[in-house]
Amino acid sequence: MSTQDYTDIQNTTEPQNPAEEVTEQTQAEASDISIEALQAQLATLAAGYESAKEQALRAQADAQNARRRAEQDVEKAHKFGLEKMVNDLLPVVDNLERALAAIDTGNEALSAVVEGIQLTHKSFVDALARHQVIAVSPVGEPFDPNLHQAVSAVPNPDVEPNTVINCFQKGYTLHGRLVRPAMVVVSKAP
C-alpha cells in the first residue's frame, strides 16, 4: 500500500469528531447572530444615510436662499443707490419751482428768463423721471401717512375730513420707495 492510499483510508474510516459537530453548530448560530447584527448595522446605516441626505438638502436650500438674498441685495443697491443723490438734488427742483412762482410772467423783459427757467425745470424733472423719481403732489387726495407729512390741519366744511387741501412741498418716490414725504395741509371736521 502506498502512503496516499493509507491517508485516504484513514480519512474515510475515522469516525467524525464531536468537536467538529459543535463547531458546525456554533457557525450556524454565529451566522444567525451575524445576520441580526448585519440587519441592525444596515438599519443604522440607512438612518445615517437619511440624516446625511436631509442635511445635504438643507445645505443646498440654504445656499440657494443666500444666493437669492444676495441677488435681491444687489438689485436693491442698483435701484436705491441714487437715493442720497436724489435727496441732494430735490432742493434744486424746489428752488426752480419757487423761482417760477415768484417771477412776474406778465413782464415782457423777463419772458426769456421765465422760458429758460421753465426749460431747465422741465429737463431736470424729466431726468429725474428717467431714473424713476416720481413727484407726489396729493392736493385733493385723502391723507396717506405713508406718503404725506401733515404740517397743519384746517377746518374746512367744503371737503371731507383728512383730505389734503394744500401742498407746501412736493414729495418724491424712487422706484416706489418714499424719498421725501409731501408736506401738506389736511382738512378736519369743523
Q: In the prediction, which pLDDT does 17 show?
A: 56
Q: In the prediction, which pLDDT does 126 show?
A: 94
Q: In the prediction, which pLDDT does 9 show?
A: 52
d(CA 38, CA 56): 26
Whether residue 93 contacts residue 128, with contact meaning beta carbons closer than 8 Å, is answered with yes
Low-confidence ranges of the chain (pLDDT < 70): 1-33
How far does Cα 162 stand from its chain's mean position? Answer: 35
Query: What pLDDT, in 10s, does the model give residues 88-132?
Result: 999 999 999 999 989 887 888 888 888 999 999 999 999 999 989
Whether residue 93 contacts residue 120, with contact meaning beta carbons closer than 8 Å, is answered with no
Q: In the prediction, which pLDDT does 21 show?
A: 57
d(CA 68, CA 72): 6
What is the C-alpha end-to-end distance of the chain, expressed in Å? 139
Q: In the prediction, which pLDDT does 119 show?
A: 94
Q: Which helix (H) or strand (E) holds 168?
A: strand 164-169
Whether residue 152 contacts residue 165, with contact meaning beta carbons closer than 8 Å, is answered with no
